[in-house]
Amino acid sequence: MATRRRTDAAVVAGGVVTRAAALVQGGVLSLALLMPALADGQTRPIDGHTFNPPPRKITLSVASDLLYDTNVAHGTETAARLRDIEQEDVRSTNVAAIDLALPAGRAAFTFLGVVGYDAYARNDQLDRERIDLSAGTKLPLAFCMFDGDLHYARAQSDLADLSLVPNAPAEAAANARTDRRADARLACGPAIGIRPFVSLGHTETTNSAAARRFQDVSETRYAAGLSYANPVVGVVSLVARRASFDYDRRPPDGSLGSQRFRVSYAGVGFDRRLGARLQMTASLGYAWMGEHDARSGRRLNGLNWDLASTVRLADRAQLTVRTSRAIDAATGTFANLVRTSSYAGTIIYALGPSVRVDATASLMTRAFDAGALPQPFQLIDDRSQDYMLGLEYRRARARVRLAAAYRQRDATPDLYDYSGFLLSLGVRYALER
């Protein structure tokens, strides 16, 4: 559904909650990885605890998922022909996963590994491995605390994120995107009180299609700030950070756009996951592009935010809402950067100890900075809406999920407009200790 790379990391407590920790904290293995067809449309609950490490857990699981999609091309019929894609198709996804959380006093190690394969009945050019590996560590060093994270992911790109390529239908559709990321954060001072911190991160994103390799990008992030921790309030922080995006495969003469872009950010963060009825993480700040990006065609400066909240409405109901805005690299489209704004909510209701239903609604808008790139079929902006209903049955170690969804996108140019219905059936079996 409308899930994008930057939404995988929430900025809280003045730093970045790493992807591995976000998935593992609280002992919940993400359905978006294990049953990917429609589970990723859900707004995931906030897990974990602001001050405590995750509980010990070892989970081994396998899952199989079938997805029927009426618009695999994620565009008009003309776009489908230009991609040489059959609009209507069924995808089968089979995965195996391991989920570890191993705390040791104040230290902890987490690992989440998912390996699988996507296979299409009619569009076999989209068949691709699905790999997602994350490892995280938390280590006390004297009066400091070190947090580290490594992440590797590889999968077929969502066609909603790929611009068309003139006269190259194969490269307009088939593209394996690979992400390699490393993050580190060091905070020093008392566990309760004021603590300064610094963080450093690096991401390499590559495309397999030759026509998209000049959109391969490396991103370097560095930040510093000050946080205040209180066991009643949570953690409040001030943070300043900068991200540098390098498109090193672009020609140095600038014929395909600038090679380097810089985005700075200053703001505040809040983390209150204290086991109460209401769990919340939030950040709010201002982001601006560097002055050396004068050739870029659209300025994406403005407020950025990330607010996620989970509330237990009753013994059987839970509501999770999330809204965010962030600037990121545009690796699948012929653009420099993209500003993504998203709004989503999921309500879950337990019909009994084994059966639950859920409903999700989401809205996402994107504005692309095309800059000096004179590419046809350039995606300028879009607006996507997703609605999903799900039914899940759990019995001992097994889980069966049925979901239906409707999605619609309005884009500029109209070539990328589309609507479609999706139906998913997934089965998962897990061993836990």
When divided into structural domains, the chain yields a total of: 1
State pLDDT tens for residues 247-286. Answer: 999 888 777 777 889 999 999 999 988 776 888 999 999 9
Provide the 10 A C-beta neighbour count for residue 285. 19
Give the 3-state secondary structure of residue 334. Answer: coil
**What is the percent of the chain where pLDDT is above 90?**
65
Q: Which two tokens stand for residue 399?
A: 């889980």
- In angstroms, rounded to a whole number, what is the distance separating the alpha carbons of residues 165 and 378? 9
- In angstroms, rounded to a whole number, what is the distance separating the alpha carbons of residues 321 and 381? 24
Poorest-pLDDT segment among 39-48, 128-137, 141-150, 320-329: 39-48
156 in Cβ contact with 124 (< 8 Å): no
pTM of the predicted protein model: 0.87
DSSP tally for the chain: helices H, then strands E: 4, 20
State pLDDT tens for residues 78-117. Answer: 999 999 999 999 999 999 999 999 999 889 999 999 999 9
Model confidence at 19, pLDDT cuts 50, 70, 90, reads: very low
DSSP state of 233: T
Model confidence at 47, pLDDT cuts 50, 70, 90, reads: low
Range of the domain at 365: 5-432
Model confidence at 11, pLDDT cuts 50, 70, 90, reads: very low
State pLDDT tens for residues 169-200. Answer: 777 899 999 999 999 999 999 989 999 999 99
**What is the percent of the chain where pLDDT is above 70?**
84
Give the 3-state secondary structure of residue 426. Answer: strand
The mean pLDDT of the chain is 86
Model confidence at 21, pLDDT cuts 50, 70, 90, reads: very low
**What would the mean pLDDT of 285-304 be, rounded to a whole number?**
77
CATH assignment of the domain containing 85: 2.40.160
**What would the mean pLDDT of 385-400 be, rounded to a whole number?**
96
Model confidence at 370, pLDDT cuts 50, 70, 90, reads: confident
Report the DSSP pairing between strands 317-329 and 337-350.
antiparallel
Q: Which two tokens stand for residue 244?
A: 């540098």
Model confidence at 400, pLDDT cuts 50, 70, 90, reads: very high
Which residues in 209-224 are b (16+ Cβ under 10 Å) and which e?
bebbebbbbbbebebb
The CA-to-CA distance between both ends of the chain, in Å, stands at: 32
User: Which candidate, 209, 63, 32, 220, places its Cα nearest to that of 134?
Assistant: 32
304 in Cβ contact with 325 (< 8 Å): yes
- In angstroms, rounded to a whole number, what is the distance separating the alpha carbons of residues 250 and 211? 12
Model confidence at 433, pLDDT cuts 50, 70, 90, reads: confident
State pLDDT tens for residues 333-369. Answer: 888 889 999 999 999 999 999 999 999 999 999 999 8
Q: Which two tokens stand for residue 179?
A: 């992400």
pLDDT at res. 423: 97
The kind and range of the H/E element at 53 are: none
